[in-house]
Structure 1
């Protein structure tokens, strides 16, 4: 894997040490997450964040373990870090960090106090919610180490305050149980039980959200580090509280072995691919229904559009075809009226996308093509045919094939945004894209051809599917090219206002990246034109991928910043989306244009924000600072996929 590590000039300075985040996951949707400096900047940061019935229903348990070292001189040095509502940062243990690095994907900190050097390593138990934190004396000593456990038990999206009930604590062997949900165990436990008031999260403040909470100081562990190699470790876990995990050092060693095996199974060609293969592993989780995909950490759960867009990169490029097969079967069971369930993150299963189902057709086609698993194609064929039939007949939200041209139309229902550009502000879609969006119809043309091939592989007649494909492909070639020199983003869109006797519909020729799918998909409706692609690149391409809107547009938003309404307004109005690097590179390759230098920026980004991973978004204006989730599934998946063309 690529080397990711930082010295004191990054670790010891807040601007650098707090903007780079690490992530370790448990394979269930839970995680440990924080910053290089150790300062918690998000409400989502913690050492044990536990997934619930769905990956999105997470709860924060163990927030931090603050080290304090008593030196032979008797001096006590605190190595933790907290920011308070007063604006004070205290303690400032990051100022003593001489090194932070990821070793086999696991974070390691190294503090130096004179000739005393202490390392911390952290790992999660895979397949169960638990974390192990190991502290080791490297040089110097003897010293005594105390670890103060700050806890809570709350929804990951909220806060807990001291004006409510204190967390319930019960004694347990080697530690305590908090709220009957999280058990802490380690050496020489001393219960405390008091509130730490006014902990501040600077990233939540920057995102226009409530930035403060109160933490419960549950107690402290302690142990002697007499000679180099001695350790003091703490375990925290949820679930079956009576079933204690293995010793902390064994948890770390097992996590390291597993990470190496994950990378080896992906057969990476170079360190970048190895890093991306391990990053992909964080998003593949096991739920009661089988394998699933977390769209992004720390706040997303499972979204079918993201899952299916990510499918090839996460599963087929990493040696996980068996898990992928089970996932595709599971998702097929959610089909209703020809539509794939979108998400249950909101607390109910929703069917509200026009494209997730088309990405599902693509994912099944790619699975069978790349693995030769025709048995799965045969098994899912009736469900896939039912998808096409439902779209021909018309389904929810006005999604239907237009009998006039064979293209897919959608929308027209107030308050709905059915494409991936689905942001809404105060219930109003920012980019509703009602009509016939370009990428939706590229996916429709692609899906019909992919299904026709699967049908023929099963020994059945696919003539009607090929006829539908040919008709839609011909109509696409006539309708979407724009006089502007690229493709329309939407055709047959309702005109927002038109004079008496004017047209009720118009074709939207805003320069957006959605048109890339018209050239990039395996059964794309158009052959790429190098001159057109160069025009698209000139308006949209950045080092972290394509913008969602050209800066020439009057609605362009160069910064994806501010409160929820400001961020959602900018979300698809110029913000960069790294996942679009996939269709961009595919289209360039198919056109014969050079692609060698297109990934340099994103590969460098692996050490910039979400360490070893790729962010959800970035500012549309230079220097294209990363925004959104630091760890995003389809961003990782698409970068990995286009580095491994098949």
Structure 2
């Protein structure tokens, strides 16, 4: 899809900062700013490099300030908000259009000069290219100047005004980092200056530190003759060498087109989501494998998120080798039946505080097999899947164990081991200790999968099938809430049991469910009535006393609302898959889902262009919140488009 924003979309500074772009390099590095070229967050950066994939990220180039000089007239193309608002740069008034397809493109017009700016990242490298096509329609000579604003700090840190920058010989050195650059412009050096009042409006919205600092000590200068069209460029890289920006753009276009062709996706929104999903698949240096970034700009790669996201990001897109690579990465670190929730960096140990990552792993292997019929890999993964089931039966860390009724219980004290895992000090906003509904839906699903795999591989054990029967009986007896026509969220003996939450939808959407068809339809209907919005499912019914209508404010306020009604995009995929399932994938059901999914085109234009955000306000989900690009949000909607294409 090609996204175009014209001047009517950029009516004022605030409107121009509502949207941003994102491009990535497959290492965890990225480039992301607003569509007017400003930085509205501390994590907005023209060049965020990654020195050790995927989480050792450094904010190198904040932005490039561009000016056009025609004799005694000067036009500032840059946009930026400052604490002292009188200093605001308002280059957005000269911006005719922002376009995004493969790369972000800006088109400026000032004094008879047109400037088209394109940014591209080289996949698999910490290399960023910036190209300007400057068209001088006047009979005067034009000076075009670029001033890089720099930080050279760890992602999330603030630049200290005592930090020293050394520029020369096509290198910029600071804070132990050497950044190489090549350009066809001339270098003009001056004493380092520090901009200490950069204002990040979207950090302020979220209760974060909203004031930033950047340094500059040089500009790149270009001369464009009368009626001349000239390419002006600069390439930044952590490796020494010369790159052609044009070649980088062509290579990236071809790479993305190959991904779309490989996926076989035919729907235009589906094709866009294939490209969006690609941005989350990264190298992980510590394991010499691949992983999936949970979300930009805040998150790293997490076990639970990866196991959910990889079905859409890798399997639905036919990136089967990437899927196996990610599986093997997690298999390597499985301990006592638990997949890591976060991976080690340096000498640190993994964190294993998740009850669902391992169960989701088995479900993902099954989805992989359905698409590939790769029996050899099932054989490779079988022993670790056996180990997971064994540990869950006899008990493992974080109070995860099978009770006498066959159901899984998990968590105690201050442990938060489901995806509703917020903990603020000693406060648990959503304690789900006991038997969470989705954990037990995954548990039964995995037992049936293991029954299938054991037969496939000639193991011929009755263990999994027999236990599955026991789980089914207990689940139907204890989780079904006949009065409300839905499933209890958890079995804990507290008021939380009766809350209507989105977690129940996965008891329907999994391949092997435990409910009757009538019960499944009731769950789907209840979820639509109480929780459905076009951009996601509410995490709690609006009728609940603990429902929070808005997400925002301080860290504490955000945590208190995070799973208390806030709309999450990724469960919407489970809803649509469940809806199609209970209606036997009929043409009528498919038409209904396609009709409801049409709003995704508008969703992809809001917030981060071409992406789906993590969360939205619970009462009226109009503005993206949290991570502006979330892997499982994109993945789960992509799964739906794939299901519509192959089954309906």
TM-score, with structure 2 as normaliser: 0.93
In structure 1, distance between residues paired with 2:232 and 2:210 = 32
Shift of 1:519: 0.8
Taking the TM superposition and a 5 Å limit, the aligned residue runs for 1:122-521 are 122-138=119-135, 140-141=137-138, 142-162=141-161, 165-173=162-170, 176-179=172-175, 180-186=177-183, 187-192=185-190, 193-226=192-225, 227-238=227-238, 240=239, 243-288=240-285, 289-344=288-343, 348-403=349-404, 405-412=405-412, 414-495=413-494, 508-521=497-510
Q: 1:613 to 1:293 in 2, by over 3 A?
A: same
In structure 2, distance between residues paired with 1:170 and 1:39 = 24
Aligned to 1:524: 513
Aligned to 2:624: 626
In structure 1, distance between residues paired with 2:423 and 2:344 = 16
Indicate the SS of the match to 1:597: helix
Aligned to 2:586: none
In structure 1, distance between residues paired with 2:114 and 2:157 = 37
Q: 1:373 to 1:116 in 2, by over 3 A?
A: same
In structure 1, distance between residues paired with 2:554 and 2:595 = 35
Indicate the SS of the match to 1:343: coil
Indicate the SS of the match to 1:622: coil
Q: 1:598 to 1:587 in 2, by over 3 A?
A: same
Taking the TM superposition and a 5 Å limit, the aligned residue runs for 1:569-580 are 569-580=560-571
In structure 1, distance between residues paired with 2:400 and 2:424 = 23
Q: Would you say the 8 A contact 2:31–2:46 is kept in 1?
A: yes
Q: Would you say the 8 A contact 1:365–1:451 is kept in 2?
A: no
Q: Would you say the 8 A contact 2:47–2:61 is kept in 1?
A: yes
In structure 2, distance between residues paired with 1:464 and 1:514 = 28
Aligned to 1:498: none
Shift of 1:93: 0.6
Q: Would you say the 8 A contact 1:487–1:509 is kept in 2?
A: no
Q: Would you say the 8 A contact 1:167–1:216 is kept in 2?
A: no
How many pairs align? 625
After TM superposition, the runs of 4+ consecutive aligned structure 1 residues lying more than 4 A away are: 345-348
| 1:551 equivalent in alignment to 2:542 | yes
Q: Would you say the 8 A contact 1:617–1:626 is kept in 2?
A: yes
Describe the superposition over 1:84-113 as per-residue Cα deviations: whole angstroms up to 9, x where unpaired.
22133522111100100113x210000011
Q: 1:228 to 1:541 in 2, by over 3 A?
A: farther
Aligned to 1:501: none
Q: 1:218 to 1:466 in 2, by over 3 A?
A: farther
TM-score, with structure 1 as normaliser: 0.94
Aligned to 1:40: 39
Indicate the SS of the match to 1:596: helix
Shift of 1:195: 1.2
Unaligned segments of structure 2, at least 5 residues: 584-588
| 1:606 equivalent in alignment to 2:607 | no
Indicate the SS of the match to 2:202: helix
In structure 1, distance between residues paired with 2:344 and 2:608 = 22
Shift of 1:491: 4.1
In structure 2, distance between residues paired with 1:540 and 1:249 = 47
Shift of 1:256: 2.1
Unaligned segments of structure 1, at least 5 residues: 496-505
In structure 1, distance between residues paired with 2:302 and 2:362 = 16
Indicate the SS of the match to 1:149: strand
Shift of 1:298: 0.8
Indicate the SS of the match to 2:605: coil
Shift of 1:507: 6.9
Q: 1:287 to 1:392 in 2, by over 3 A?
A: same
